[in-house]
Amino acid sequence: MGVRPRTWIAIVAAVVLVCCVAGVAGVVGFLRWNEVDTRGDVEFVNRLAIPPLAPSHVDEQGRRVFDLHAAPGRHDFGAGPVATWGFDGDYLGPTLRATRGEEVVVNVHNGLPEETTVHWHGMHLPASMDGGPHTPIAPGATWSPQWRVDQPAATLWYHPHPHGRTAEHVYRGLAGLFLIDDPATSVDALPHRYGVDDIPVVVQDRNFDGDRLDFAPSLVGMGILGRTIVVNGTLAPYQEVTTERVRLRLLNGSNSRVYQFAFADHRSFALVGTDGGLLAAPVTTDRVLLSPGERAEIVVTVRPGERLVLRSDPPALGAPLGRLFGGADGFDVLELRAASSLEPSPALPDRLVEVPALAVDAATPTRTVRLGDSTINNKQMDMSRIDATLAPGAVEVWRVRNDDGKPHNLHIHGVSFQVRRLDGTAPPAHLSGWKDTVYVAPEREYELVVRFPTYADPMIPYMYHCHVLYHEDQGMMAQFLVLAPGQSATPMPAHHRHHHHG
Ligand code: C2O
Ligand code: CU
Ligand code: CU
């Protein structure tokens, strides 16, 4: 039985239409399948945990001594216990706090079933004390780095850095804050009562699978992208506020996710500090973008009796397919509950501290750093290869580009740097201060001025890497040595390990 041509046309048209719709729906579905937006949906039922200040004592040599013990535990984020790792507890670690000029010692005991390291992110210190992948701590061993704190007041942090295993160790819960105070430049008008009007806010995304963490990486080459936010290890947290102004020390302690912090009512706030210290002056803004490892100190003014929600809005990743990498995701993060009457807080001063620009001239060496797909300058990390050598205290300009479509950032150990230019022009105000980690959007050029450490060591290098921990573990890391005049590099071979038994 024959089919008339018009029927054929109708059939073909219908098939084409169905395919097109399915195709478009498929593409849209693919772009969306991983998306998450919890804004407005979170009921803030758990009081925010405030990491305790780590106890310390001053020894006979005048050194401030801390002890940290890494061990497995079970932590209740707010919905029943989950298997985790922590320092001196089940999840995260205490806040270490020291004053500029002090000698510190940290006895780090490894009570984990495997080797780890502890890195002091943002600290200016000798490479042998920095806790990178060349200084592993065997299970059962204790490592006791010591150094003199000599840098501006800042919100630093610490976390493991074992070669190829950093993402898992941090995700399990090993991280904490390290605050530096500098009495010579302290700004007393900034809220500074820890846990009262100066609140640590460690933001992490997690996926849960019953009573364990879910380690499944995203399918987009970014490692784990969690669908649930925890702050200081608390799900759906609220914090009571009793003062007119509150300072939040925000740390993006997540493995991969970029946040764009803002308040639900879009009110403006003051950005007062970035990774390596306070800004020269408060910057009034209504959002702050933080990629993994970055910090921001903000001061927000609250009204009596209000409930104010800190959120992360979809971050401006500047990546063409950003929504695949969390660029369309939004989260409720933390509710601030203001008391019905608030203690007055001093007004913020117009100036905070001096941030002298690192001097650059025609003789300043320039180096290009290209971020690729799990590579830096087209190479993957090799523990036995030194990628750069520098003289103690050398200043260089680093031109950093992200040639890959994915979001990446760059973190440099042992230093604070300045962003000198972004695409050839002065950087925005929020990048005007000391940084040690900077988000690098695809196809833009970030010109950094870096003053390298003054501590020479011909054996142990400092790292620089993407702080998307999955990328770091995949080899998106390189290393530099600081060599005194006359020294030559004698790096440790990759298989050579110093174990510190204690
Ligand atoms: Cu926060 Cu190399 O690390
Ligand atoms: Cu670091
Ligand atoms: Cu990366």
Ligand sitting nearest the alpha carbon of 463: 1
Q: What is the pLDDT of residue 500?
A: 40
Q: Are residues 242 and 150 in the same domain?
A: no
| Shared domain check, 339 and 209 | yes
pLDDT tens digit sequence for 11-27: 677 776 766 666 666 66
Number of domains in the chain: 3
Closest ligand 1 atom to 157 CA:
1
Q: Are residues 177 and 217 in the same domain?
A: no
Q: Which numbered ligand comes closest to the C-alpha of 159?
A: 1
Q: Is the dihedral of CA 168, 172, 174, 177 positive or negative?
A: positive
Ligand 3 centroid to Cα of residue 476, in Å, is 7
* Pair 51, 171 in one domain: yes
The reported pTM is 0.94
Domain annotation covers residue 448: yes
Q: How remote is the CA of residue 351 from the centroid of ligand 2, in Å? A: 28
Q: In what order do the strands lie in the sheet with 269-274?
A: 234-235, 228-231, 198-206, 245-252, 295-301, 269-274, 277-285
Q: For residue 20, is it within any domain?
A: no
Question: Residue 169, SS3?
Answer: helix
Asked if residue 360 belongs to a domain, the reply is no
Closest atom of ligand 1 to CA, residue 465: 2
358: in domain: no
CA of 463 to the centre of ligand 2 (A): 7
> Last residue of some domain: 164, 185, 206?
185
Query: Does a structural domain hold residue 191?
Result: no
The boundaries of the domain holding residue 397 are 366-496
Ligand 1, CB within 6 Å, residue ranges: 119, 121, 159, 161, 293, 411, 413, 463, 465, 467
What is the pLDDT at residue 490? 87
Side chain identity at residue 377, one-letter code: N
Ligand closest to Cα of 472 equals: 3
DSSP state string for 260-271: EEEETT---EEE
**Residue 5 falls within a domain, yes or no?**
no
What number does the ligand 1 atom closest to the CA of 413 have? 2
Do residues 211 and 321 both lie within one domain? yes
Cβ atoms of 309 and 332 closer than 8 Å: yes
Instruction: Report residues near ion ligand 3: CB below 5 Å.
Output: 408, 466, 468, 471
Q: Are residues 451 and 375 in the same domain?
A: yes
Classify residue 172: in a domain, yes or no.
yes
Residues 313 and 388 in one domain: no
Strand 96-99 relative to strand 176-181, pairing: parallel
Return d(Cα 355, Cα 349) in angstroms, integer: 15
Separation of CA 472 and ligand 3 centre (Å):
7
Determine the atom of ligand 1 nearest the C-alpha atom of 472. 2
Same domain for 338 and 422, yes or no, is: no
Are 336 and 212 members of one domain?
A: yes
pLDDT of residue 113: 98
| CA pair distance 122, 120, nearest whole angstrom | 6
Q: Which ligand is nearest to the CA of 134?
A: 1
Q: Give 120 Cα–ligand 2 centroid separation in angstroms.
A: 6
User: Which residues of the chain carry a pLDDT beneath 70?
Assistant: 1-5, 11, 16, 18-32, 491-502
**Measuring from atom 3 of ligand 1, which residue has the nearest CA?**
121
**Contact between 358 and 418 (Cβ < 8 Å):** yes
Task: Answer yes or no: is 31 within a domain.
Answer: no
| CA 23–ligand 1 middle distance (angstroms) | 42
- C-alpha of residue 76 to centroid of ligand 3, in Å: 31
- Which of 343, 378, 407 finishes a domain? 343
- Same-domain pairing of 436 and 325: no
Q: Is 203 helix (H, G, I), strand (E, B) or coil?
A: strand
Q: Are residues 334 and 405 in the same domain?
A: no
Residues 321, 413, single domain; the answer is: no
Pairing between β-strand 198-206 and β-strand 245-252 as defined by DSSP bridges: parallel
Could you give the count of Cα atoms lying within 13 Å of 266 in the half-sphere of its Cβ? 1
**Atom number of ligand 1 nearest to Cα 132:** 2
The last residue of one of the domains, among 121, 154, 185, is 185
Torsion angles phi and psi, residue 27, rounded to 5? -65, -45
Task: Determine the atom of ligand 1 nearest the C-alpha atom of 463.
Answer: 2
CA nearest 92: which of 162, 211, 177, 193?
177
Structure confidence at residue 21 (pLDDT): 66
CA of 45 relative to ligand 1 center, distance in Å: 33
CATH code of the domain containing 461: 2.60.40.420
